[in-house]
Amino acid sequence: MGGGGCTFSEGEEYVGNDIKVVEQVAAKDACCALCASLSACKFFTYDKRQKRCSMKSENAPDTSRPNPDCTSGFIGSNPPAPRPPAEVNVAVIDRAVSTTEEAYACWNLDTSRNRQFFDRNLSQADPLGAQLARQAAALGSANQAGYSILRFGGTGNDYLTYAVGGAECPPQSEYNECLNTTWWANTLAFTRAAKAKMVFGLSLNTGHDRRAGRGLLQFPQVWNSSNARALLQWTIKQGSDDLLFGFELGNEQNSKYSGATIARNFAILHNLTVELWPDKTRRPRLIGPDPHSFKQDGVEAPLIDWMEDFMRTAKELEVPIYAVTHHEYIEVDSTSFTSPNKLDVTKVIAVAVNASVASILPGVQAWAGEVGPHNGGSPPCDHTTMRWANFGDSLWYADAMAAKARHGYGAFCRQDYIGADYGLVDCSTGTPLPDFWTALVWGTTMGSTVLDASVQTPHSTAIRAYAHCAAHHKGAVTVLLINLASVAVNVSLTLPGASDSQLEFHLEQVASSSVLYNATGLLGTKVSLNGQLLQLEGDGKVPSLQGMQSLKTDVVHLAAESVAFVTLSNHHFAAC
CA distance 372 to 378: 12
Please count the other Cβ atoms lying within 10 Å of the Cβ belonging to residue 68: 11
Do 492 and 396 share a structural domain?
no
What is the C-alpha R_g of the chain? 25
Across 200-239, b (16+ Cβ under 10 Å) vs e yields: bbbbbbbbebbeeeeeeeebeeebebebbbbbbebbeeee
* 1 located within any domain: no
Q: Are residues 30 and 106 in the same domain?
A: no
Q: Does 406 share its domain with 307?
A: yes
- Whether 35 and 44 have beta carbons less than 8 Å apart is answered as yes
Residue 575 lies in a domain: no
Q: In Å, what is the CA distance from 242 to each residue of 163, 237, 472?
A: 21, 11, 25
Distance CA 74, CA 76 (A): 6
Residues 472 and 417 in one domain: no
Give the Cβ contact number of residue 274 at 10 Å: 12
Q: Which of 390, 416, 448 is the last residue of a domain?
A: 448
With respect to residue 574, please indicate whether it lies within any of the assigned structural domains.
no
Same domain as 466, residue 402: no
State residue 567's pLDDT score: 95
| 439 shares its domain with 458 | no
> 293: cis peptide before it, omega within 30°?
yes
The predicted structure's pLDDT at residue 116 = 83
What pLDDT shows up at residue 2?
38
Answer yes or no: is 500 within a domain: yes
User: Per the domain annotation, does 82 fall within a domain?
Assistant: no
Residues 334, 246 share a domain: yes
338 and 193, same domain (yes or no): yes
- Give CA angle at 377 (306, 484), nearest 5°: 80
DSSP for 377-408, please give it. Answer: ---SS-SS--TTSSHHHHHHHHHHHHHHHHTT
CA distance linking residue 133 with residue 186, whole number of Å? 11
Q: Is residue 81 part of a domain?
A: no
Hey, what amino acid is at 561?
E
The total of structural domains in the chain comes to: 3
- pTM to 2 decimals? 0.91
Question: Residue 119, Cα to own-chain centre: how many angstroms?
Answer: 25
Residue 529: give its domain's CATH number.
2.60.40.1180
Residue type, 107: W
Who's near 126: CB < 8 A, 6+ residues apart? none
Grouping H, G, I as helix, E, B as strand and the rest as coil, residue 423 is coil
- Measured between alpha carbons, how far is 94 from 477 in angstroms, rounded to an integer? 10
The CATH number of residue 401's host domain is: 3.20.20.80
CA distances from 16 to 21, 45, 327 (A): 11, 10, 41
In a domain, 168, yes or no: yes
Q: Which domain holds residue 66?
A: 6-75
The helix (run of H) or strand (run of E) holding residue 273 is helix 259-276
Q: What is the pLDDT of residue 216?
A: 43
The answer to whether residues 53 and 163 belong to one domain is: no
pLDDT at 215: 45
Cα-based distances in Å from 413 to 105, 214, 450, 507: 6, 32, 18, 21
d(CA 36, CA 34): 5
CA dist., res. 297 & res. 345, Å (int): 8
Q: How many residues does the chain have?
A: 576
Tell me what pLDDT residue 434 has.
97
Q: How far apart are CA 165 and CA 186, in angstroms?
A: 18
Q: State residue 5's pLDDT score.
A: 79
> Are 201 and 290 in contact, with CB atoms under 8 Å apart?
yes
What are the pLDDT tens digits along the chain (576 aa)? Answer: 333 478 888 998 988 889 999 999 999 999 999 998 988 888 899 999 999 999 988 656 677 788 999 999 888 878 888 889 999 999 999 999 999 999 999 999 988 877 888 888 899 999 999 999 999 999 999 999 999 999 998 887 888 899 998 888 877 776 678 899 999 999 999 999 999 999 999 998 765 555 444 444 456 678 999 999 999 999 999 999 999 999 999 999 898 889 999 999 999 999 999 999 999 999 999 999 999 999 988 888 999 999 999 999 999 999 999 999 999 999 998 889 999 999 999 999 999 999 999 999 999 999 999 999 988 766 677 787 777 889 999 999 999 999 999 999 999 999 999 987 789 999 889 999 999 999 999 999 999 999 999 999 999 999 999 999 999 888 899 999 999 999 999 999 999 877 788 999 999 999 998 888 888 999 999 999 999 999 999 888 999 999 999 978 899 999 999 999 999 987 678 899
Strand 562-569 to strand 501-508: parallel, antiparallel, or no bridges (unpaired)? antiparallel
- Asked if 63 and 82 touch (Cβ cutoff 8 Å), the reply is yes
Of 392, 389, 395, the C-alpha closest to 522 is 392
Helix (H, G, I), strand (E, B) or coil at 430: coil
Distances (CA, A) of 174 to 160, 208, 441, 460: 11, 12, 37, 48
Identify whether residues 444 and 461 lie together within a single domain.
no
- Same domain? 113 vs 62: no
Q: Does some domain include residue 508?
A: yes
β-strands 365-371, 105-110: how paired?
Answer: unpaired
Domain boundary among 429, 448, 467: 448
Say what the pLDDT of residue 553 is: 85
Burial class (CB in 10 A: 0-12, 13-18, 19+), 140: buried
DSSP letter assigned to residue 218: -
State residue 59's pLDDT score.
59
The residue from 448, 478, 493 where one domain ends is: 448
pLDDT digits (tens, 9 = 90+) for 474-529: 889 999 999 999 999 999 999 987 778 899 999 999 999 888 888 899 999 999 99
Do the strands 321-328 and 285-289 form a parallel or antiparallel pair, or are they unpaired? parallel
Q: Do 438 and 515 fall within a single domain? A: no
CATH number at residue 54: 3.50.4.10
Across 17-56, the runs of DSSP E, i.e. the strands, are 18-22, 43-47, 52-56
Which pLDDT value is given to residue 3? 39
As a whole number of angstroms, the distance between CA 106 and CA 152 comes to 11
